[in-house]
Structure 1
Amino acid sequence: MNIETFRDRQQTISLAGIVREPVEVAYTDLGDGPPLLLLHGIPTWSFLFHEMIDELAKDYRVIAPDMIGYGFSDHRDNFDRSIEVQADMIEQFLGHLDVASAHFVAHDIGGGVAMILADRSPELVRSMVLSNSVAYDSWPIEEMLSLAHPRNAKMKPEEMKELLEETFEVGLSRPERRTQEFKDGVMTPYLQTDGIVSLVRNASSLNTNHTTPLTASLNKITQPTLLLWGEDDQWQPISTAKRLVQDMPDAKLHAIKNCSHWVPQDAPEEFTQETLRFLNSIESAISQAAR
């Protein structure tokens, strides 16, 4: 699916009370069934999941927002974009959609958001699929620390494009998955002046202090959790996933070979298949328990 088709079915909602002014959130809402929330990371946006949304929507109500400061959500240079604030936004966003509980499929910093909510609002998070997620003090990575310098807000579009192009070589193991469609889709929101500034501000908001406090609480996060992890990831290594399996009561790891950081793009079929197998088993257990 190209970016134009993806954008055509995005909706927009205005949310007040998260930061000083109301913010606009772009999102996809497709399908029926149990709610399934997709959360992207940095520097991507909900387009990260473009190859799997339709398949997931055959059985689930798939909701895929762009976090504030990302994609086609609000880019204004006057609000905090930390994962704590993103968690506030997601909580209010789901409330506006009358979603009391959802399965979370979350990548990178989206995983940090999911774990924050699983800890503080456990009734909201039915289960989690965490993919190459931030956790502990595994982040921010060097590339994001470098991008966060305020001088980069004055980057020219061609400079930002060159920087992002370099990340595709590291973030995707399979050369055939480094498609121009995916690259263009990820980069497009960040190649205009406001998008460049917004991405730099997103990078500057990354703070390991927002996940390290969770470390002592991980043994109390009891939601069923599947760790779908690319083995080749240099940014969020699989050692993080193995540690999470040890620390979380109901977590299991499915490692994906020849796969790096952006697992939904590097291995979309395996990602979708394993996600559906996991979610369907949970929904089946819920159904049987209700009988």
Structure 2
Amino acid sequence: MRGGRNLPPARRNPPVSVSEKPYWIELIDCQVRQIQGKYRTRIIEAGSGPALFLLHGTGGHAENYARNIAALAKDFHVVAMDFLWHGKSQTEGYDPEVIPSLVDQVVDVMDQLGIASACVEGQSMGGWVAMQLALRHPERVRALVLTTTMGYVPDEGAIPGYVEPDWASNLQSSLEVLRNPSFDNVHTRMARILAKPERLTDEAVMVRQALYQQPALAAVQQRFIAEYLAGANIRRHVITDALARQVRQPTLVYWGDRNRTPPALGQHIANQVQNGSFHCASDTGHWAQFESAPEHNEVVAAFFKAQLQPA
């Protein structure tokens, strides 16, 4: 057309596999909204039936579960939430002890939705929060999935050869991402949690980048990540073997064989809780619910459904 632009031809059948569907194709039947109770919390919600809460890891947001929500919503009322000082939830009121406030936030969202108890999956930091939730409010948790959980300190010598990674070594690069959330910086930060970085989609990076470009979030995240990786306040709330032995809810520990902390830690956690089991996904890193999504969805749904069957 004279005076117009030459546009590339439309691609009618883009070569996208099921696991690579864009987030909002996966989430098209979900509802996104803000819950205002004691805290302001953004949630992604889908499905009906028994309640299932999905708790993301540090620096993340509800879309961390974009490949899982729709699949799990076939059997559950799924609620994926942004933690305080993450995503689109409130940025004010930062508490350097971190974990108690996040536990309280989960209870607050449950109360606002009229949910007395729920199945709970937590990934990374979300697993830490989930364990503390199960210990502090056992009546609110029906069953647990701990996916590549953080916040666990086994007894010295309990796992032969185990040495906790030096998490503080990630601090400067993590702060740089928040100070300069370029696509390349965010990509580098996220790629390190996958077994194969090429599996990280541009969309996943751009969603995280758009959130980190919010000044209030970037500011509070810098305080948060400094505490999370190198602070002493949050360490008051680590899970020890003695505490794990008090977790009575049925618990599945879901791991990746190429997670930075080895499968031996996940197996150990499963052995410590009162009613634990263990699953390790192959060729999978820390972001296991994303990287092995079909396997994760099948295993996690089957586990939760089995726990909800009448005795």
Correspondence for 1:24:
40
User: 1:226 and 2:252 equivalent?
Assistant: yes
> In 2, distance between residues paired with 1:154 and 1:103?
33
Correspondence for 2:302:
277
User: 1:173 and 2:195 equivalent?
Assistant: yes
> In 2, distance between residues paired with 1:118 and 1:3?
30
Correspondence for 1:184:
206
Question: How do 1:114-193 and structure 2 match up within 5 A?
Answer: 114-137=130-153, 138=164, 141-146=167-172, 155-158=179-182, 161-193=183-215
Greater CA deviation, 118-127 or 192-201? 192-201
Question: How do 1:1-291 and structure 2 match up within 5 A?
Answer: 2=22, 9-16=31-38, 23-76=39-92, 78-80=93-95, 82-137=98-153, 138=164, 141-146=167-172, 155-158=179-182, 161-206=183-228, 207-212=234-239, 214-234=240-260, 236-284=261-309, 287=310, 289=311
Change (3 A) 1:3 1:80: farther
- Unaligned 5+ runs, structure 2: 1-20, 154-163, 229-233
**SS of the counterpart of 1:91?**
helix
CA contact (8 A) 1:230 1:256 kept: yes
> In 2, distance between residues paired with 1:280 and 1:89?
25
> In 1, distance between residues paired with 2:252 and 2:120?
10
Deviations 1:161-207 (A, max 9, x none): 44332133321123452111222223321123222213212213422
Q: What is the RMSD computed on CA atoms of the aligned residues?
A: 2.4
> In 2, distance between residues paired with 1:193 and 1:162?
19
Correspondence for 2:159:
none
Deviations 1:111-170 (A, max 9, x none): 011100111111111001110001323578235543677xx6982333xx4433213332
Equivalent residue letter for 1:193: P
CA contact (8 A) 2:47 2:74 kept: yes
> In 1, distance between residues paired with 2:34 and 2:194?
30
Correspondence for 1:19:
none
Deviations 1:222-277 (A, max 9, x none): 1111111011012x332321221221121111011110010111110000010011
Pick the structure with greater CA Rg: 2
Correspondence for 2:15:
none
> In 1, distance between residues paired with 2:134 and 2:222?
28
**SS of the counterpart of 1:90?**
helix
CA contact (8 A) 2:117 2:139 kept: yes
**SS of the counterpart of 1:239?**
helix
Equivalent residue letter for 2:248: T
How many residues are matched? 273
Change (3 A) 1:32 1:56: same
- Unaligned 5+ runs, structure 1: 17-22
Change (3 A) 1:67 1:146: same
Aligned-residue identity in percent = 25
**SS of the counterpart of 1:220?**
coil
Q: After TM superposition, give the deviation of residue 215 of structure 1 in Å.
A: 3.3
Equivalent residue letter for 1:276: A
